[in-house]
Homo-oligomer: A and B are copies of this chain.
Amino acid sequence: MRISELARRSGVTVPTIKFYLRERLLPEGHLTSKTQAQYDESHLARLRLVRALLGPGGLSIVAARSVLDAIDDPPDTVHALLGAAAVTLRPPADEPTDHERVHELMRRWGWTVSLEDCATTHSALAEALSGLEAAEFELPDGLLDTYVRLISELADAELAGVPTESAAAAVRYVVLGTVLVEPLLLVLRRMAQQEASARRYL
């Protein structure tokens, strides 16, 4: 199909499609003349994915490109993939990470993944904790451990669902599941808080 047809079927305007092409979020079409390119169903599917990443997924152009690169050229193992999905985490601040504190917490939780594998997540954890401290917000006793217990159960359920029929399917599931499920989890938490609050206070 031509770009105008791609626009009509996807609901994305031609200028926006051209922008995605320039930003390498969408692969070039097949050139049929110097100024005409043809697009197919794969372009339509990719366009839907790009819209979901930039819209509900809330990613920047750069982060969306990293996610798409991981999907197009997947790392060798599912485990390495989770590292690729971590690029979409907010980049750690310039401040040095308090590794000792993170390691102490990880020992307490029985977590073993080493620093080389997850410098980004370790920094992000240290930063999230120091954000709470900077605002003089103290988590009630035991709440952090409760978070870890419930979220570990959640991650187990998620990993159990990784499709095993093909590497491509596994990649898609892990990367999109990480990025696109975040807004879902955050809104479910708000709603669950409203429910708990209605039960307690109304």
Q: A131-B52, A188-B148, A190-B85 are in contact. Are A198 and B79 (CB under 8 A)?
A: yes
- Whether A101 is near chain B, meaning CB under 8 Å from some CB there, is no
In this complex, the interface size class of chain A, counting residues with CB under 8 Å from chain B, is 35 or more
Stretch at the interface among A1-9, A15-23, A26-34, A122-130: A122-130
A191/B79 in contact, CB under 8 A: no
Q: Does A49 touch B at the CB level, under 8 Å?
A: yes
Name the interface residues of A79-120: CB closer than 8 Å to any CB of B.
79, 82-83, 85-86, 89-90, 93, 111-113, 117-118
CB neighbours (8 Å) of A183 from chain B are 90, 124, 127-128, 131
CB atoms of B143 and A113 under 8 A apart: no
Please determine whether B196 and A128 come into contact, CB atoms closer than 8 angstroms: no
Mask, A35-68, CB within 8 Å of B = 1, is 0000000000100110111011110000000000
Give 28 pairs: A residue, B residue, CB < 8 Å, sorted on A: A45-B136, A48-B135, A49-B136, A52-B134, A52-B135, A77-B201, A78-B201, A79-B197, A82-B193, A82-B197, A85-B190, A86-B190, A89-B190, A111-B195, A118-B191, A125-B187, A132-B181, A139-B181, A146-B157, A147-B154, A148-B192, A151-B192, A155-B189, A156-B192, A156-B196, A158-B193, A185-B186, A186-B186
Chain A interface residues toward B at CB < 8 A: 45, 48-49, 51-53, 55-58, 77-79, 82-83, 85-86, 89-90, 93, 111-113, 117-118, 121, 124-125, 127-132, 134-137, 139-140, 143, 146-148, 150-161, 172-173, 176-178, 180-198, 200-202
A79-B201, A125-B187 given; 10 more Cβ-contact pairs under 8 Å:
A48-B134, A77-B201, A82-B197, A90-B183, A111-B195, A112-B195, A128-B180, A131-B184, A147-B184, A185-B186
Counting from the closest, the 5 A-B pairs by CB-CB distance are A56-B131, A140-B161, A155-B192, A52-B135, A128-B184
